Structure 1
């Protein structure tokens, strides 16, 4: 049977995923991901509270949180260009160092505006190492194990992000500035680990023929990439935006529960996510990306919509856990799909930057739209629209090609 240009591959035939241990360089990246997530979790619970020590209100404190995401979005195109010029490892380590220095500076901020500037600079460094990390994983991961590697990377981040707030809460007892210094130290350790232990053997092509970076126009011509950008936007809207900003408000306003209920909802989401991550990456390598992506988007979308209909805590927690499970299904497959589009041994800084920008844009827009709908029509319609966004992205994947190559 004749295949379309989108589904053909000369150098990456589909093979069954191997059960061999992950390459050493991948393990280095996993260790760095854990340290980064652990450190971020240290400051996340105390950042708004620290901002209010400068005699500002809740809105100004929220701006300190959102400036990080805003700067990630604004600086993403420049980060992609830097990768094309200096390479993923250099941009990755530089981004870590920028966030480390800016975070340490936050600990010594003397007023609100200094804190705002330092936190914004951290957002610029954050998108640098985030996009560079994706590029490194594409180069380092064997094509037949991309799903497994993406799942392992997500798991390392999940474990670090769960442990981080616990450790951060303990450190806050020594003062609100201490978690920032601990985060900076974790980033310095991560940068040192990557710079000294990453062999670099997997970051170069196996032959001597030079390969030009993938142009954004070339990626956009691929239906799989267009679907991945769309689902990245939806996932950012729901998982990184509404889940963090709107669900806590719903728990207090509608369920009339204590503020810590929102923390439990985030915890059960993480549990559902962790359960799916134990197998979703391997299945994405064995079955293909779409068989995991489409159910993951549908499950997360429906469960998110159901949250707005819950009237008691057990159902609220159950819906949160199911949403986390769906997110764990789609995450590794989505990242592996982008890696399939770019291909191994090829730089795709701008392509990855746009993919990341889509998620950051969704995370910024989602809570605003959900909040406006909740204020006017109630939380039920707000969560229904939120879940509907993910269902629409699932339709996008139904119409896209399967990015995992078939055996010849």
Structure 2
């Protein structure tokens, strides 16, 4: 009842002075860098499997090249969190970009399949470094009452870049399969230079108080019901939005709907469009109405839509449900990440806590398609998409028992973790 009254008061109060706050310059730099990074990642995504097969390997080996990047991200995440706590967010961010830039450039000069596999895997190490440190920078630099808006803007930049990148990558592939890798490497060097020089003299939040206090540990964080719920919802989101959507949706379009690959590509674009539409408002709503209502809504919408995909029987319904699933993801993500930031706060470093949250998402993205694929082989696509909906339902139930991390005044609720 207390949570409902707080929600009702925020809704009745409407927009306040927080709505008039402007994004800090440092946050704008990170958002611009995110767009460049996503554009570059999209450049190599459509040509990477073809490039791997150019060395005479089968489709399975080509798919391993894609999985290697995600696998090394997952394995190296704990070390990335330690680096952030010991060295600081900015040095780790720039170093991560440089590692990905060098590994991507090396891919362009790979002489055989195994070199390509090693170089691509090394890129995953740099990727997890700048991902965790970027999340840490947002936690430290974003005003507490703007975290939803900031995470929404950051996610929008990545989304727009990931939409435009594959298109540009396809065009560049006409000049040779190695060219997109070199262009991506150059873009990452530019992004690293911009972040280094623009954030060089930035004072990070309460740096003195942060230095005086020990870093927040994962053991402390998991005592907080909101963080525990975020780990589960992060897993469910990785399973659905980054795993099953990319692995099974194209196969479903061809096998069940009898549609060509162009329909599968359009459905992914429709999903992204729904996400972009939701991101225009979801971040601000997370700052005004609270994190929990947005997370619950996003999980319900995305979970129901992903489960419903397996029941569609024509292309029109398939595309419509794809848009709804994307809207659910766009509602969920800013509020979920803002809740994790609230748990950490500006006063303490939380590299390991952020790494664990990222690992939950990556784990869902890796194992979700595998388990769903087994269900397809054993039963049907309906069972596979239904299981995806069940993971969202489990996360929904976890969040119903979790605390609201945003206080009535628009500040995080600073509650001892043991109180949950």
TM range (shorter): over 0.9
Q: How does 1:107-256 map to 2 (within 5 A)?
A: 107-205=108-206, 210-256=212-258
Aligned counterparts, 1:291-370, within 5 A? 291-370=293-372
How many Å separate the matches in 2 of 1:255 and 1:104?
A: 40
Q: Secondary structure at the match of 2:18?
A: coil
Residue equivalent to 1:6? none
Number of equivalences: 397
Is contact 1:16–1:286 with CA below 8 Å preserved after alignment? no
**Contact 1:274–1:328 (CA<8 Å) still a contact in 2?**
yes
Q: What residue is the counterpart of 2:34 in the other structure?
A: 33
Listed one character per residue, the Cα deviations across residues 133-179 of structure 1 (whole Å, up to 9, x for unaligned) are 00000001000000000000000101111110111111000000000
Partner of 1:391: 393
Indicate if the aligned counterparts of 1:95 and 1:128 stay in contact, CA closer than 8 A: yes
Q: Which consecutive unaligned segments of at least 5 residues does structure 1 have?
A: 4-14
- Alpha-carbon distance between aligned partners in 2 of 1:106 and 1:256, rounded to the nearest angstrom: 36
Q: Is the 8 A contact 1:17 1:282 kept in 2?
A: no
**C-alpha root-mean-square deviation of aligned residues, in Å?**
1.6
Q: Spell out, residue by residue over 1:45-101, the C-alpha distance to the aligned partner (whole angstroms, 9 max, x if none).
A: 100011000000000000000000000000000000111110010000000000000
2:205/2:346 contact within 8 Å kept: no
Q: Secondary structure at the match of 1:17?
A: helix
| Residues 97 and 130, structure 2, Cα contact 8 Å, conserved in 1 | yes
SS at match of 2:19: coil
Deviates more, 1:374-383 or 1:208-217: 208-217
Query: Hey, which bits of structure 1, 4+ residues long, moved more than 2 A?
Result: 15-18, 199-202, 206-209, 405-408
Query: Secondary structure of 1:401's match?
Result: coil
Name 1:75's counterpart in structure 2: 76
The residue number in structure 2 matching 1:12 is none
Judge conservation of contact 1:139–1:202 (CA < 8 Å) in 2: no
CA contact (8 A) 2:41 2:165 kept: yes
Please name the residue that 1:91 is paired with. Answer: 92
Using the alignment, how far apart are the partners of 1:192 and 1:338 within structure 2? 29
| Gap change, CA 1:318 and 1:200, over 3 Å in 2 | farther
Question: Quick one: distance in 2 between partners of 1:39 and 1:21?
Answer: 28
Cα offset, 1:111, TM superposition: 0.2
Change (3 A) 1:210 1:313: same
SS in 2 for 1:45: coil
How much does 1:16 deviate?
A: 5.8
Q: Note closer, same or farther for the CA distance 1:19–1:254 as it changes in structure 2 (3 Å cut).
A: same
Q: Which runs of 5+ in 2 are unaligned?
A: 4-15, 412-420
Instruction: Give the equivalent residue in structure 1 for 2:53.
Output: 52
TM-fit CA distance, 1:405: 2.4
TM-score by length of 1: 0.95
| Shift of residue 211, structure 1, vs aligned partner | 2.2
Q: Normalization by structure 2: what TM-score?
A: 0.92
Q: What is the DSSP-based 3-state SS (H/G/I as helix, E as strand, rest coil) of the residue aligned with 2:323?
A: helix
Partner of 1:11: none
